[in-house]
Structure 1
Amino acid sequence: MSWNVRGVASCAFRRTLKEFLRQYNLDIVILLETKVSGNNARRIIQGAGFNYFIIEEAQSFIRGIWICWKDNSISITTLESNQQFIHTRVQRHNQDPWCLTAVYASPQPNNRRVIWQSIERTAKNMGEPWLLIGDFNEIKDGTEKKGGRPIDLRMCRNFANWIDRCGLVDLGFIETRFTWRGPQWEGYDRVFKRLDRALSNPSWRTKFQEAVVKVLPRTKSDHHPPLLMKNEGTDCRNGRPFIFEAMWSMHPDFRPFLEKHWKEDIMFIQNLNSLKKDLSKWNKEVFGNIFKTKRRLLNRINGIQKSISYGKNHFLDNLETNLKRELEDILDKEEALWLKKSREQWMVEGDRNTKFYHTKAIIRRRKNKIHKLRDANENWIEEKQELKDHIINSYKRLYQEEVIITPLRIDNINMPNLDPLVCRNMEMIPTDMEIKKLLLSIGSLKAPGEDRFPAIFFKNN
């Protein structure tokens, strides 16, 4: 959790912090604009129950950044620190490390430029999963502000471009859009902005796929705290419907399988429905899990390269060559899988782009995920089963309601006369060439229709 507290000395702050700790079981807490330093800072931190902490001291009762945690299995090491950010490496026992940057950007634009330049330099050399969270004191487009004076589009573009140059993605939010409640100037509505956010590089986003940013209620400060949490409550992927995977067609046995199971004596739709069951079984028994296969191949290649006989045994040399060829085939299939899931309309030439497509797919999945819904009584529903029941019942009511159809009166409407040739063309059955032309114009990996087969299946077969 990151929280711009606007001072930590009050009893009200300590009471609110303890409630957050109790309710959300926080692993790491970042406090910004603490306005307290020295022994007073350490006394407040230890009084809140934290055993470990990193402090960027407040200067003359302004600023101040604290990173606090309780669990001794978490190790946080400072890599760089100044008045506007603390850059650290985080490692939990027996897990790979990742980088965390706690940000409190200056309200002054000239001072902010210094931190943007410093973080951009860090980004160029970043080889680990990396998360940045805090108060950036910037917005990147018009949707992140409400009220007040008109936005400065140039500053918005500069901030958005900076995020792109650093290779970062915005982790989004659930709950409240605006994280800061500002003043109300004469002649204007009160201003609200989304100043607090979490950004990450693609490696962190793929490492923590289920992470979401929940904006907590604003208390004892003019900022809402963003809470980064693992969302497990609404994962509804069990029992998901069949969908054709483009990577299946890359398997050498796919074409013979299709010819064997496609029956000429039954209707087209019946063939597709029958093929769904056969393909699901073939996927499990023949095609297999590409991620398990990739791990197995990498382990075998690693074992060969560690062998004492490596480089001296022709059998091992040939086996390594064959395994690497199999690995390349698996990597091609993996890239095809993530390309489809990312909904990208193009493929970049050159290096393999699996990581890019994987990141895009995760971002898209997070945006499409339903975390909560409001019922007819204005109550929020968050539990997985309650969400399912609410959606099903809503559609049941929608389609069970009696609809009164009022006939359209066209007695007094003058309809234009259509040319006889146009009428005949409208009644003509489409030719095979017209159907083929229309099919080829559809994006190969566009979302499939009710049959769950994307256009690439019909194009290639």
Structure 2
Amino acid sequence: MITLIWNVRGAASETFRCIFKELMRQHRPDIAILLETKCSGDKAKRVIHNLGFSYSILEEAQGFVGGIWICWNRPDINITTIEKHSQYLYVKIQTQSEKEWFLTAVYASPQSQNRRELWPKILNIANQTMGDWLIAGDFNEIKDSSEKKGGATISNRDCKVFSGWINRWGLIDLGFIGSRYTWRGPQWEGQDRVFKRLDRALANHSWRTRFHEAMVEVLARTNSDHHPLLIINERERVRGQDRPFRFEAMWGMHQEFQNCLNTSWNKNNSLLGSFVDLKEDLQKWNKETFGNIFKIKRRILNRISGIQRSRSYGNNRYLDKLEQDLNKELENVLDKEETFWMQKSRQQWIVEGDRNTKYYHTKTVIRRRRNKIQKLRRTDGSWIEEDDELKDHIVNHFQSIYQEQVSISPIENLYDTLPNFNAYVYMKLIAEPTEEEIKNALYSIGSFKALESDGFPSLIYKNNWDLMK
């Protein structure tokens, strides 16, 4: 699903209608959210009809101030109002084929005293929303100095208050692709023009993990001092790409892992050759023995559910024993799943308390989203968005860098430029490192760090030092 959200600074003009229809034609959003529409009543209904929408939910403008519209055309999208306010619309969104999720469209008042009324209400929504929740719009606030350019010095206190509220809500900023600043302000005499990132999209952890490919694109600004935001829940997946091998730490939790490792590892072979053989054997072992933990977890849960639905449940010793054994298997699988997501999240420590699979999963989604290249700009200013074009552009760029011819001039008086070492320091420099020094250096590296191109992190060396040294 694609959602367009835009502070339009008035929706009634003919100029806006033409520009907005072109935006809809180019990006084809399923839902359009217009903020600060500055019209209400019958006039608002006529404008919505002229924009070509069949369905809408409105928070009316107060005279020529404010106004929030949620508009759509697809008959299979069902949007119901949960709560209305002059600064937000809180709705539930559901399609016939997907699970429901919740959306709060925000137009925070430019008046700070009115804006203060908004945050407690949003906090209340955050506390009562049990499902996947997205909150997006014009917040009229910035989190830190990186979100403003030009003008007077920022208020660190206001930034801390806003960022503090985001943390208290437990929300994740979806980031942006395109312009960093979403609002262009005035240019006062003697100062640079002001730019700020006032518009953004935030989500709770369940929305973010459900739509882990979601991204926010900042579109070109026209007919308003705000940029439109295009929120894309899911990108079209590219299939058939070969994934590189990665050693999974959870494999070591299987009772047969050590046997596989001992059988595969050949001390008479070179280190490189041993790892090539080990990689092939582990890939086969993973498929034939270890299995897919997510499928195994679903199968165990289904079996437990079947036992508990049985008519003889509670009066059958065999079923009681089977349920007990399945719960032990489930505990083991959940431990492996936690280790899986912890490794993906690149965390170096365990969070104390209950099982933290949800925390590590969320961290992984954020890290992957941050590291993913969605588009690149060419030297002529045009953008590259297709995966194959991105790949070719990156390869060609680095090939052009490393194919540059560099002339090397001989260094005269080489020995005069070298430092003088005494015999003791010289012997230390040329001495081979001891086994203990190598081991200490290895154990100082994070277990999931130093991932080589072969896909093995330092963890496997640490856990199998006696075998591999």
State the TM-score bracket (shorter-chain normalisation): over 0.9
SS at match of 2:69: strand
Answer yes or no: is the 8 Å Cα contact 1:80–1:87 preserved in 2: yes
In structure 2, the residue matched to 1:323 is: 326
Counterparts in 2 of 1:198 and 1:345: CA distance versus 1, 3 Å: same
Answer yes or no: is the 8 Å Cα contact 1:234–1:383 preserved in 2: no
Structure 1: distance between partners of 2:36 and 2:272: 64
In structure 2, the residue matched to 1:128 is: 131
In structure 2, the residue matched to 1:257 is: 260
Unaligned runs of 5+ in 1: none
Runs of 4+ with deviation above 4 angstroms: 233-237, 410-415
Write the mapping of 1:108-147 to structure 2, written as runs, cut at 5 A: 108-147=111-150
Answer yes or no: is the 8 Å Cα contact 2:175–2:200 preserved in 1: yes
Of 450, 455, 459 in structure 1, the residue corresponding to residue 458 of structure 2 is: 455
- Say which is worse superposed, 124-133 or 227-236, in terms of deviation: 227-236
Of 36, 43, 47 in structure 2, the residue corresponding to residue 33 of structure 1 is: 36
RMSD: 1.7
Structure 2: distance between partners of 1:141 and 1:407: 51
In structure 2, the residue matched to 1:96 is: 99
SS at match of 2:427: helix
Q: Which amino acid aligns with 2:347?
A: E
Of 187, 193, 196 in structure 1, the residue corresponding to residue 196 of structure 2 is: 193
Write the mapping of 1:390-405 to structure 2, written as runs, cut at 5 A: 390-405=393-408
Answer yes or no: is the 8 Å Cα contact 1:443–1:455 preserved in 2: yes
SS at match of 1:391: helix
Q: Which amino acid aligns with 1:429?
A: E
In structure 2, the residue matched to 1:222 is: 225
Q: Which amino acid aligns with 2:56?
A: F
Counterparts in 2 of 1:203 and 1:210: CA distance versus 1, 3 Å: same
In structure 2, the residue matched to 1:206 is: 209
The yes-or-no answer on 1:407 pairing with 2:410 is: yes
In the TM superposition, what whole-angstrom CA distance separates every residue of 1:215-236 from its partner, at most 9, and x where no partner exists? 0111110000111014536858
- Say which is worse superposed, 138-147 or 86-95, in terms of deviation: 86-95
Of 45, 60, 81 in structure 2, the residue corresponding to residue 57 of structure 1 is: 60
Of 129, 150, 160 in structure 2, the residue corresponding to residue 157 of structure 1 is: 160
- Say which is worse superposed, 124-133 or 165-174, in terms of deviation: 124-133
Structure 2: distance between partners of 1:340 and 1:410: 51
In structure 2, the residue matched to 1:441 is: 444
Structure 1: distance between partners of 2:251 and 2:229: 41
In structure 2, the residue matched to 1:7 is: 10
Structure 1: distance between partners of 2:196 and 2:279: 49
- Say which is worse superposed, 122-131 or 412-421, in terms of deviation: 412-421
TM-score (norm 2): 0.95
- Say which is worse superposed, 378-387 or 188-197, in terms of deviation: 378-387
Unaligned runs of 5+ in 2: 465-469
Counterparts in 2 of 1:193 and 1:409: CA distance versus 1, 3 Å: farther
Counterparts in 2 of 1:114 and 1:237: CA distance versus 1, 3 Å: farther
In structure 1, the residue matched to 2:25 is: 22
Counterparts in 2 of 1:231 and 1:96: CA distance versus 1, 3 Å: closer
- Say which is worse superposed, 230-239 or 272-281, in terms of deviation: 230-239
Q: Which amino acid aligns with 2:59?
A: E
Counterparts in 2 of 1:401 and 1:274: CA distance versus 1, 3 Å: same
Sequence identity (%): 55
Answer yes or no: is the 8 Å Cα contact 2:185–2:193 preserved in 1: yes
In the TM superposition, what whole-angstrom CA distance separates every residue of 1:317-340 from its partner, at most 9, and x where no partner exists? 111111111111111111111111
Counterparts in 2 of 1:316 and 1:344: CA distance versus 1, 3 Å: same
In the TM superposition, what whole-angstrom CA distance separates every residue of 1:226-266 from its partner, at most 9, and x where no partner exists? 11014536858821211111111111110011011111211
Counterparts in 2 of 1:233 and 1:188: CA distance versus 1, 3 Å: farther
**In the TM superposition, what is the alpha-carbon distance from 1:24 to its structure 2 partner?**
1.3
Answer yes or no: is the 8 Å Cα contact 1:233–1:384 preserved in 2: no
**In the TM superposition, what is the alpha-carbon distance from 1:205 to its structure 2 partner?**
0.2
**In the TM superposition, what is the alpha-carbon distance from 1:372 to its structure 2 partner?**
1.5
In the TM superposition, what whole-angstrom CA distance separates every residue of 1:416-450 from its partner, at most 9, and x where no partner exists? 42232111111111111111111111111225123
Counterparts in 2 of 1:447 and 1:10: CA distance versus 1, 3 Å: farther
Structure 2: distance between partners of 1:133 and 1:121: 16
- Say which is worse superposed, 225-234 or 77-86, in terms of deviation: 225-234
In the TM superposition, what whole-angstrom CA distance separates every residue of 1:288-322 from its partner, at most 9, and x where no partner exists? 11111111111111111111111111111111111
In structure 2, the residue matched to 1:358 is: 361
In structure 2, the residue matched to 1:87 is: 90
Answer yes or no: is the 8 Å Cα contact 2:211–2:234 preserved in 1: no
SS at match of 2:105: strand
In structure 2, the residue matched to 1:292 is: 295
Counterparts in 2 of 1:58 and 1:354: CA distance versus 1, 3 Å: same
In the TM superposition, what whole-angstrom CA distance separates every residue of 1:93-116 from its partner, at most 9, and x where no partner exists? 142211100000111122111111
Q: Which amino acid aligns with 1:219?
A: T
Structure 2: distance between partners of 1:234 and 1:401: 36
**In the TM superposition, what is the alpha-carbon distance from 1:269 to its structure 2 partner?**
1.7
Q: Which amino acid aligns with 1:98?
A: W
Of 170, 193, 199 in structure 1, the residue corresponding to residue 173 of structure 2 is: 170
Structure 1: distance between partners of 2:450 and 2:427: 33
In structure 1, the residue matched to 2:426 is: 423
- Say which is worse superposed, 387-396 or 108-117, in terms of deviation: 387-396
Q: Which amino acid aligns with 1:397?
A: S
Answer yes or no: is the 8 Å Cα contact 1:2–1:225 preserved in 2: yes
Of 310, 316, 339 in structure 2, the residue corresponding to residue 313 of structure 1 is: 316
Answer yes or no: is the 8 Å Cα contact 2:245–2:454 preserved in 1: no
Answer yes or no: is the 8 Å Cα contact 2:214–2:235 preserved in 1: no
- Say which is worse superposed, 378-387 or 359-368, in terms of deviation: 378-387
Structure 2: distance between partners of 1:433 and 1:23: 63
In structure 1, the residue matched to 2:186 is: 183
- Say which is worse superposed, 194-203 or 399-408, in terms of deviation: 399-408
Say how many residue pairs are matched.
461
SS at match of 1:328: helix
Answer yes or no: is the 8 Å Cα contact 2:58–2:68 preserved in 1: yes
Answer yes or no: is the 8 Å Cα contact 1:5–1:220 preserved in 2: yes
Answer yes or no: is the 8 Å Cα contact 1:445–1:454 preserved in 2: yes
